[in-house]
Amino acid sequence: MSSILLERFPQETGFLPAIGQAEAAAGQVNTAMDHWRRYLTGALEETRSVYDDLSRVAVDEKVSSFAALTDATEREAFLIRFWQDRDASSGLSGNGARAEHYRRVWYSIRNYSRGNKP
């Protein structure tokens, strides 16, 4: 089903989080992350910032370090290292921790924001 949606609506990104969630649940974490990246690449900055907010999952020192970065490349490199460390400490592979974080953010937005958030 997801391949049909992706084929028929290549410019549409609104359904990508649901596909990413399904792929992660099926153990296809890297494919899930591809969908999440595509979704977030086309998203508004406000939306991306919600997904990249580490304040609920990181110690204050890490949150401050990330907030101090202004260059997009440096911020992404920081996030990659941060989530790789989380994968290693939790026993997850690939991008499992980041995919799970994105899933939880998406779930929270869909179920608790009443349309007030991205």
- For the chain, domain boundaries: 2-112
Per-residue confidence (pLDDT) for residue 36, from 0 to 100:
93
Better pLDDT: 68 or 1:
68
> Could you write out the DSSP letters of every residue in 36-92?
HHHHHHTS-HHHHHHHH--TTTS-HHHHHHHHH---HHHHHHHHHHHHHHHHHHHT-
Summarised one tens digit per residue, pLDDT across range 74-86 is 999 999 999 999 9
Per-residue confidence (pLDDT) for residue 115, from 0 to 100:
61
Per-residue confidence (pLDDT) for residue 63, from 0 to 100:
97
Summarised one tens digit per residue, pLDDT across range 94-103 is 788 999 999 9
Local structure of 3: helix, strand or coil: helix
